[in-house]
Structure 1
Amino acid sequence: SFAQEWNGESDLTGPLGEIGFNSVIGYGFPDDDQPRGVLVVANGQAVSGGAYNGEELNWDIRASEDQWKKWIAKPPGMMGLGVAFTSGKMKFKVGDYGAMLKEPKMAKPFIKSFSVMGKV
């Protein structure tokens, strides 16, 4: 359902499609060996989503269960995500957070993805 909601959000699909964004994104908890879920994005559109099944990841985003719940209940903005990253509440096991923030067509959709999570 996350993939379906993703595709219904033009603030995600539009900018990411413009830059030809293709990625396999994992989501999970910091101490787990592998992410719990995965979203596959092709040209800005989510083509599949579900439980992680060994896919090679371009991004692997980790946070505690409590932190994920907070973000789903109240999606963070740029400042909130920056604080979460610098304080270690959000970790990237794979992917370059700094490089992503420097590209507005990636940063804004990344922030928007948290409000889409809240719809699921």
Structure 2
Amino acid sequence: MADLFSADWMAAFADHWNAEDDLTGPLGDIGFNSVIGYGFPDDDQPAGVLVVENGKAVSGGAYNGEDLNWDIRASADQWNKWIAKPPGMMGLGAAFTTGKMKFKVGDYGSMLKDPRMAKPFIKSFSVMGKV
């Protein structure tokens, strides 16, 4: 398996993202377009980036200075726990409030209040487990 959030890992994540109708369908229905960075709290920039257009991942790779709509950070240990056992809404809420998950860019609160975005966000963790 490639290193977490490496270019190869992110490309595989994009492929698995697009194979998941429970992710692409609801996001496509709301016209979700975003550039999402993934990484670790102490790094200056995210390690990987996923570009989503109308719910589908159009690219995944190493972060290369893209303007981000979301920048999600957690420790490698925490990411690996979520990949092994995807969290639910309560687990993600607790992770956010305790600082285990940080959003350097993006409004976590507004996303959670919109079930059209919250459910796919939670689903994205189970997709990570397929990489």
For Structure 1 versus Structure 2, the TM-score category normalised by the shorter chain is over 0.9
The structural deviation recorded for 1:29 is 0.3
Q: Which amino acid aligns with 1:42?
A: E
The structural deviation recorded for 1:101 is 0.7
Q: Determine the C-alpha separation between the residues in 1 that align with 2:96 and 2:22.
A: 23
The structural deviation recorded for 1:102 is 1.0
Q: Determine the C-alpha separation between the residues in 2 that align with 1:105 and 1:11.
A: 11
Q: Which amino acid aligns with 1:16?
A: L
TM-score (norm 1): 0.99
Q: Determine the C-alpha separation between the residues in 2 that align with 1:30 and 1:86.
A: 15
State the partner residue of 2:25.
14
Consecutive unaligned residues of structure 2, counting only runs of 5 or more, are 1-11
Q: Indicate whether 1:107 and 2:118 are aligned.
A: yes
**Secondary structure, counterpart of 1:101 in structure 2:** helix
TM-score (norm 2): 0.91
Q: Determine the C-alpha separation between the residues in 2 that align with 1:85 and 1:102.
A: 14
Deviations 1:22-42 (A, max 9, x none): 000000000100000000000
Q: Show the 5 A alignment for 1:69-88.
A: 69-88=80-99
Structure 1 counterpart of 2:43, from 29, 32, 40: 32
Q: Which amino acid aligns with 1:50?
A: G
Structure 1 counterpart of 2:106, from 95, 98, 110: 95
**Secondary structure, counterpart of 2:77 in structure 1:** helix
Q: Determine the C-alpha separation between the residues in 2 that align with 1:90 and 1:60.
A: 10
What RMSD in Å do the two structures reach over aligned CA positions?
Answer: 0.4
**Secondary structure, counterpart of 2:59 in structure 1:** strand
Q: Which amino acid aligns with 1:29?
A: F
Structure 1 stretches of at least 4 aligned residues deviating more than 2 Å after TM superposition: none
Deviations 1:29-78 (A, max 9, x none): 00100000000000000000011010000000000010001011111011
